[in-house]
Amino acid sequence: MATIRKLPSGKFQAIVRRTNLKNLYATFPTKTKAKQWAQTVESDTALARKLSYGDDLSLRQAVQIETSKGTIRCLIPLFSEWVEEYLATTLIKDKSAHGRIRFWQKQFKDKLVTDVTPEDIDDILLEMAQKRTGSTVNRHKSNLSSVFLAFNRHPKYKRLQFPNPVRSEFVSSFPENLFNVNYFVRSASIILAG
């Protein structure tokens, strides 16, 4: 039997009680995610045993989603784990892309892939744009989008229909040739002054 309770922090704690297993607890940012996790654990005895006895599995990773084609049960990887799998299985011709993808891995290392929001991404991109050119920031954005695209195409996760947060209208894009515009403005002012 599952119980969902609101914590003083505003988060929601799911508690699942199973016969002959210790109680399972997990905390989530939304009540919906807490309910999904509780339903998954309640309906899958093997998963409940695995969670109850450890096995290095984060409790919040288990999800159950109702779709038109039935129920999907799976474990969502942490973003850092997904990046490792992505880099190991994807041929990337641009060697500098590895560094940009590792940058994102550090930013979201403790989040589940599905918990990364457009707002999280946009905040980092805006901060990055203060120190780097628009084209550099856009390359980071593009590489992150590729990581989510691969997640959405993966046979295990594609039925989750997780929207790519990088493609949200709330994620900024940056002008590519800002340096060149400044160069031409300075050149024109020198010619006019001279």
More confident residue, 145 or 178: 145
- Closest CA relative to residue 162, chosen from 101, 112, 126, 121: 112
Nearest to 118 by CA among 52, 172, 185, 63: 172
Name which residue leads in pLDDT, 47 or 133: 133
Name the 3-class secondary structure at 67: strand
pLDDT at 56 (0 to 100)? 45
Q: Which of 20-29, 39-48, 54-63, 169-178 has the highest mean pLDDT?
A: 169-178
| Position with higher pLDDT, 186 vs 143 | 143
pLDDT-derived band at 28 (thresholds 50, 70, 90) equals confident
pLDDT, tens only, 104-136: 999 998 888 988 999 999 999 999 999 999 999
Instruction: Tell me what the mean pLDDT of segment 69-93 comes to.
Output: 86
| Burial label, 148 (beta-carbon count in 10 A; 0-12, 13-18, 19+) | buried
Global confidence as pTM: 0.62
Taking a C-beta distance cutoff of 8 angstroms, is the pair 24, 58 a contact? no
> In the structure, what pLDDT confidence band is assigned to residue 35 with cuts at 50, 70 and 90?
confident
Q: Which residues contact 18 (CB under 8 A, 6 or more apart)?
A: 24, 41, 42, 45, 48, 52
Q: Which helix (H) or strand (E) segment is 192 a member of? A: helix 178-193
More confident residue, 51 or 17: 17
Q: Is the pLDDT of residue 49 over 70?
A: no
